[in-house]
């Protein structure tokens, strides 16, 4: 270690974090109750010690609650941490100051976890050799080439949820930099061919890979999904090619720019409900060593106790004025400086809780996000529940928010499984869930429709397993959801029975068809189109290995399902009637004779709403103008095939577009290859979705 002494000035309280210019670097950090603060400067992410320690003086380096210092001529690439000390009032005030703990800058744009040891951060004393560090970067040194966030209207969106690491880590991905932002760039042509409009990235803000239960850690497993954020302004170093050089921002911007050039938007899965600092015995990383009494919900009578509404040990006190400002500033940063197009908020209902944990009718942070001018064109998606029983699907605060529609997921799973008694609710969900959203001024785009996501079975496993099989996680199969609404088609897990394999494949196609024929915004889980399996593990949060990685060999192995999904997306895109911005009325639009939607059973105009054993639903969708073909859709999930009537529309004939019971490529046919149906009825096989497109006589 070579000691050097850079000259310093008082600095400025704004902006927070480290800010580089040609004359040096301004550092600013918030702490209301710290009594002593010092800045430590390092040559690299793994230097054994700092080359300079700079103590800050209360009289000259503090303005209100911000501590600040300006270091003259300090270069880009300098790594740094903070240390703080203050009163020892844990139970009374929630202070957790430790003068020996190295703290990350919460506003850091790039961080390193190269020598990170979570256990050392949980214990008292100096962790300088094993702490994470922040680095000074020059954010302005980047050529966006005219890029701006995309403005794809929500009714035209088709979201594809993927894990940056797992998407390309499998050797079959054959990319130069597996598991990185750069590796994902190499797979953009595949995403284009599929036809999706947005990628929704599982957490890419820097997270703690060591945040797993002890028995899981003992198996050599780590936090894979990334729902353990510690640095909300920094891309995750594990997804970068050269994080030790502080290239995080550049590498992420390269990904966004490449996706935008390909016509695809970027939605980030963000985790503002909790952090990786966990509960009472968790590590000191940043917030709890700076002002945990402000940033977290603490017990009213004993502030050493964390309130936990997230199941992760702590809950962010999101509606404290400072914390609310931090969250909104962070989101605006990712839109303004990183050009992202939207956010999906994990356990978003936790953000609706007040400082005493009460549910707020008008949570300031949620309204602040909705009313932010910089976020006005940004997609906002809520997972509208938390781990403490608050469930707000259909009642999430605000007007512009879309919601993961868990009720859509559940009823479609039950219907495709073959359950009875779900026809009426299924129709409501397919039509956009007006019962949930219309009364409060919502739209069909308020519903994010999904059948599978990262959390739970893959689509193929949904039809291959009746029970979860999470033994590999080290928690004796206690973790993960027990209510999967799945059906193994007769055999639990792998089989070579061709009848069962064909049924599983057909059910997967049925699910894709229903999802992409529904009003609202469809979301697909990456790899479902490949019939990707996790061997029945429905909680792969700790499995950074081939169990959860996408096996790209399956692109050829299951080319028929990949093609089916491609063609289903293409069909959706050519039918505006499937992407309506307003709710269906059951009445003809102006100048039309056909109602926007008409419900049927096997007989025209006779839906079987009151039959408790019904497993068939049919409906006709009118084209929105004279150029768009009408659609007639039949979904038969019963065990018996049946003949169904086709509606008679003057001047038009029907052509068969989709029949999921047929082998590829007959299962879905492009318009120019469709065959005309010459009879007023059609046989629909069991466990089958059939779609007809109209054509002028």
- Tell me: the pLDDT tens digits for 162-210? 999 999 999 999 999 999 999 999 999 999 999 999 999 999 999 999 9
Active site residue 208: no
| pLDDT mean over 675-684 | 95
Shared domain check, 509 and 641: no
pLDDT greater than 80 at residue 548? yes
Q: CB of 326 within 8 A of CB of 318?
A: no
d(CA 659, CA 679): 16
| pLDDT mean over 8-22 | 97
d(CA 147, CA 346): 28
State the catalytic residue, choosing from 383, 425, 529, 596.
383
pLDDT of residue 153: 97
Shared domain check, 493 and 639: no
pTM: 0.97
Shared domain check, 567 and 526: yes
pLDDT of residue 626: 86
Shared domain check, 253 and 324: yes
Phi and psi at residue 513, to the nearest 5°: -65, -50
- Tell me: the pLDDT tens digits for 43-89? 999 999 999 999 999 999 999 999 999 999 999 999 999 999 998 88
CATH of the domain at 668: 2.60.40.1180
* Radius of gyration of the chain measured on its C-alpha atoms: 27
- Tell me: the pLDDT tens digits for 251-265? 999 999 999 999 999
pLDDT greater than 60 at residue 1? no
Please state the separation of Cα 594 from the chain's center in Å. 38
| pLDDT mean over 523-527 | 98
State the catalytic residue, choosing from 277, 346, 403, 461.
346
pLDDT of residue 498: 97
> CA nearest 209: which of 176, 183, 239, 169?
239
- Tell me: the pLDDT tens digits for 318-350? 999 999 999 999 999 999 999 999 999 999 999
pLDDT of residue 3: 73
Does 285 fall in a domain?
yes
Q: What's the pLDDT band for 2 if we cut at 50, 70, 90?
A: low
pLDDT greater than 70 at residue 231? yes
pLDDT of residue 95: 87
Shared domain check, 594 and 509: no
| Cβ atoms within 10 Å of 678's Cβ, excluding its own | 7
Q: What's the pLDDT band for 93 if we cut at 50, 70, 90?
A: confident
Strands 521-525, 447-449: pairing kind: parallel
Does 150 fall in a domain?
no
Shared domain check, 608 and 542: no
Domain boundary among 518, 552, 576: 576
Please state the separation of Cα 414 from the chain's center in Å. 24
d(CA 556, CA 561): 10
- Residue 57 to residues 35, 66, 79, 406: CA-CA distances in angstroms? 9, 12, 22, 53
pLDDT of residue 620: 98
Does 149 fall in a domain?
no
Does 465 fall in a domain?
yes
Does 559 fall in a domain?
yes
What domain range includes position 122? 8-135
Does 144 fall in a domain?
no
Number of domains the chain contains: 3
- Tell me: the pLDDT tens digits for 642-659? 999 999 999 999 999 999
The DSSP symbol for 215 reads: H
Shared domain check, 552 and 479: yes
Domain boundary among 532, 549, 576: 576
pLDDT greater than 60 at residue 515? yes
pLDDT of residue 338: 98
Shared domain check, 443 and 544: yes
Does 279 fall in a domain?
yes
d(CA 585, CA 281): 55
Q: CB of 538 within 8 A of CB of 482?
A: no
3-class DSSP state for residue 580?
coil
Does 655 fall in a domain?
yes
pLDDT above 90 coverage of the chain, percent? 95
pLDDT of residue 148: 95
CATH of the domain at 231: 3.20.20.80
Record the tokens describing residue 628, joined without a space. Answer: 């768009």
3-class DSSP state for residue 437?
helix
d(CA 111, CA 42): 13
Shared domain check, 602 and 569: no
Shared domain check, 393 and 528: yes
| pLDDT mean over 496-500 | 97
Shared domain check, 286 and 203: yes
Q: CB of 289 within 8 A of CB of 84?
A: yes
- Tell me: the pLDDT tens digits for 116-126? 999 999 999 99
pLDDT greater than 70 at residue 545? yes
pLDDT greater than 90 at residue 592? no
Active site residue 557: no
The DSSP symbol for 75 reads: P
Shared domain check, 599 and 545: no
CATH of the domain at 22: 2.60.40.10
Q: Give me the chain's average pLDDT, please.
A: 96
Domain boundary among 576, 603, 622: 576
pLDDT of residue 432: 98
Please report which helix (H) or strand (E) contains residue 73, including its range. none
d(CA 31, CA 16): 11
pLDDT greater than 90 at residue 475? yes
């Amino acid at each position: 270690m070579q000691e050097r002494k850079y000259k310093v000035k008082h600095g400025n309280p704004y902006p927070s974090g480290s800010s580089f210019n040609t004359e040096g670097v301004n550092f600013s950090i918030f702490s209301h109750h710290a009594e002593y603060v010092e800045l430590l400067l390092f040559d690299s992410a793994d230097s054994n010690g700092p080359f300079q320690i700079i103590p800050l003086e209360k009289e000259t380096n503090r303005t209100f609650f911000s501590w600040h210092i300006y270091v003259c001529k300090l270069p880009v690439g300098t790594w740094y941490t903070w240390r703080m000390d203050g009163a020892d009032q844990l139970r009374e005030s929630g202070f957790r100051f430790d003068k020996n703990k190295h703290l990350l800058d919460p506003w850091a744009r790039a961080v390193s976890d190269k020598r990170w040891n979570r256990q050392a951060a949980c214990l008292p004393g100096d962790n300088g050799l094993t702490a994470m560090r922040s680095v000074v970067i020059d954010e302005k040194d980047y050529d966006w080439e005219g890029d701006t966030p995309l403005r794809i209207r929500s009714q035209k969106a088709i979201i594809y949820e993927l894990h940056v690491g797992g998407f390309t880590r499998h050797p079959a991905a054959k990319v130069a930099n597996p598991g990185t932002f750069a590796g994902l760039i190499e797979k953009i042509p595949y995403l284009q061919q599929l036809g999706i409009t947005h990628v929704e990235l599982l957490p890419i803000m820097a997270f703690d890979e060591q945040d797993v239960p002890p028995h899981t850690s003992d198996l050599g497993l780590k936090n894979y999904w990334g729902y353990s954020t510690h640095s909300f302004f920094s891309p995750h170093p594990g997804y970068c090619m050269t994080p030790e050089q502080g290239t995080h921002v550049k590498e992420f911007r390269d990904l966004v720019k490449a996706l935008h050039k390909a016509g695809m938007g970027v939605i980030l899965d963000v985790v503002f409900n909790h952090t990786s600092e966990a509960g009472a015995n968790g590590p000191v990383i940043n917030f709890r060593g700076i002002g945990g009494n402000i940033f977290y919900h603490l017990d009213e009578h004993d502030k050493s106790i964390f309130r936990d509404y997230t199941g992760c040990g702590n809950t962010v006190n999101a509606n404290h004025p400072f914390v609310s400002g931090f969250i909104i500033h962070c989101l605006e940063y990712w839109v303004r400086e990183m050009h992202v197009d939207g956010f999906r908020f994990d356990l978003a209902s936790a953000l609706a809780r007040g400082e005493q944990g009460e549910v707020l009718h008008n949570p300031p942070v949620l309204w602040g996000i909705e009313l932010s001018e910089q976020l006005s064109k940004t997609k906002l998606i809520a997972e509208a529940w938390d781990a403490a029983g608050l469930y707000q699907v259909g009642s999430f605060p605000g007007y512009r928010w879309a919601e993961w529609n868990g009720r859509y997921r559940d009823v479609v799973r039950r219907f495709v499984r073959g359950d009875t008694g779900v026809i009426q609710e299924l129709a409501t969900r397919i039509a956009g869930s007006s019962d949930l959203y219309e009364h409060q001024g919502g739209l069909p785009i308020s519903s994010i429709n999904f059948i599978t996501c990262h959390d739970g079975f893959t689509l193929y496993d949904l039809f291959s397993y009746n029970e979860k099989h999470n033994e590999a996680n080290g928690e004796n199969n206690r973790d993960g959801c027990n209510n999967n609404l799945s059906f193994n088609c007769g055999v639990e897990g792998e089989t070579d029975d061709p009848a069962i394999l064909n049924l599983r494949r057909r059910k997967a196609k049925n699910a894709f068809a229903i999802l992409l024929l529904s009003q609202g915004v469809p979301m697909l889980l990456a790899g479902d189109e490949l019939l990707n399996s996790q061997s029945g593990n429905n909680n792969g949060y700790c499995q950074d290995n081939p169990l959860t990685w996408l096996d790209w060999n399956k692109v050829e192995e299951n080319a028929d399902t990949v093609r089916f999904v491609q063609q289903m997306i293409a069909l959706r895109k050519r039918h505006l009637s499937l992407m309506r911005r307003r709710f269906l009325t059951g009445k003809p639009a102006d100048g039309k004779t056909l109602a926007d939607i008409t419900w049927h059973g096997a007989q025209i105009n006779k839906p079987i709403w009151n039959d408790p054993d019904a497993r068939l639903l049919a409906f006709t969708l009118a084209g929105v103008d004279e150029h768009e073909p009408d659609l007639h859709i039949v979904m038969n999930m019963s065990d018996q095939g049946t003949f169904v009537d086709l509606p008679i529309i003057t001047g038009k004939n029907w052509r068969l577009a989709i029949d999921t019971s047929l082998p590829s490529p007959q299962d879905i046919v492009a318009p120019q290859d469709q065959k005309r149906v010459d009879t007023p009825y059609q046989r629909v096989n069991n466990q089958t979705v059939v779609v007809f497109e109209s054509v002028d006589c």
